Amino acid sequence: MGRLSGRTAVITGAGSGIGRAASLLFAQEGASLVIADKAETVNETADMVRAAGGKAAALVGDAGEEAFVESLIGRAVSEYGGLDVCWANAGVSGGWTEFDQQDAAFWAEILRVNLIGAFLAVKHASRVMLPKGRGSIIMTASVAGIRSGAGGSPYSASKAGVINLAQTAANEFYGAGVRVNCICPGLIETGMTKPIFDGARARGNEDKIGQLNPLARYGLPGEIASAGLFLASDDSSYVNGQAIVVDGGLSSSHPVVRRKR
């Protein structure tokens, strides 16, 4: 029996990267899935799940729009009869726009997707979970939400908000049995970070990606998916309101350029 056998999970941002890795892993562990992404590639993820013997329904839409999030949760209920896990993983980076070139609209869009989208997932998932007295809600934050140096200002602020949302929402559901946590990935090779990796490979210095953390390497989507599986399963039954950092140790210090031993 898999750790998620008999359970239903919703995962956003499932068209690539962390969301795709999580979809494949959760299905492997027995979950029935409803997955979403703004990109049509979410259908490819669903095909991969089904090819491996799993169950997945795919929807294309914007995880920052309330009507879509509500329909996504509703689909889980109508398709599989309930909801046990919701992972609000969808997000945008905003790139590295110079601070004085940013405007309110730029900030608003990043906050809409990254933070308000996470709030909407918590809101609508909890409405299904609270009457049952159990459920796990996961959000993708970032080490950028912990301190400076891992992303642009609006992205970092949005992820700091996600970390705080995990803490406050966990307390909003006091005594209800619904857990809310987030994961703070370090540098992971995903569609969002593709420009970083493409640039490094073009320069021939791919081996330097991730050199500032003690493991001296970048992370893989599957490593974040594994942390998500822990939070989704009963293995984390006493973990609530936490920001789980998965970054190779990057946030354990103020990074400096180090020499290998």
Q: Does the residue 260 lie in any domain?
A: no
Q: Does the residue 227 lie in any domain?
A: yes
Q: Does the residue 3 lie in any domain?
A: no
The pLDDT value recorded for residue 8 is 98
Domain count, the chain: 1
The pLDDT value recorded for residue 260 is 65
Q: Where are the alpha helices (DSSP H) in the chain?
A: 17-28, 42-51, 66-80, 104-111, 117-129, 153-172, 194-203, 221-232
Element (H, E) at 152: none
The pLDDT value recorded for residue 259 is 64
Give dist(CA 248, CA 186) in Å, integer. Answer: 7
Count of C-beta atoms within a 10 Å radius of residue 77: 14
* Average pLDDT along the chain, 261 residues, taken 10 residues at a time: 94 97 98 98 98 98 98 98 98 87 95 98 98 98 92 95 98 98 91 71 76 88 98 98 96 73 62
Q: Does the residue 253 lie in any domain?
A: no
The pLDDT value recorded for residue 196 is 73
Which range of residues forms the domain containing residue 23?
8-244
Q: Does the residue 139 lie in any domain?
A: yes
- C-beta separation of 82 from 128 below 8 A: yes
Q: Does the residue 197 lie in any domain?
A: yes
**What residues contact 201, with CB distance under 8 A and at least 6 apart?**
none
The pLDDT value recorded for residue 204 is 78
Q: Choose the catalytic residue: 80, 155, 174, 218.
A: 155
- C-beta separation of 177 from 133 below 8 A: yes
Q: Does the residue 110 lie in any domain?
A: yes
3 state DSSP class of 59: strand
Q: Does the residue 58 lie in any domain?
A: yes
Does 218 participate in catalysis according to the annotation?
Answer: no
Looking up residue 91, the CATH number of its domain turns out to be 3.40.50.720
pTM greater than the 0.75 cutoff:
yes
The pLDDT value recorded for residue 258 is 64
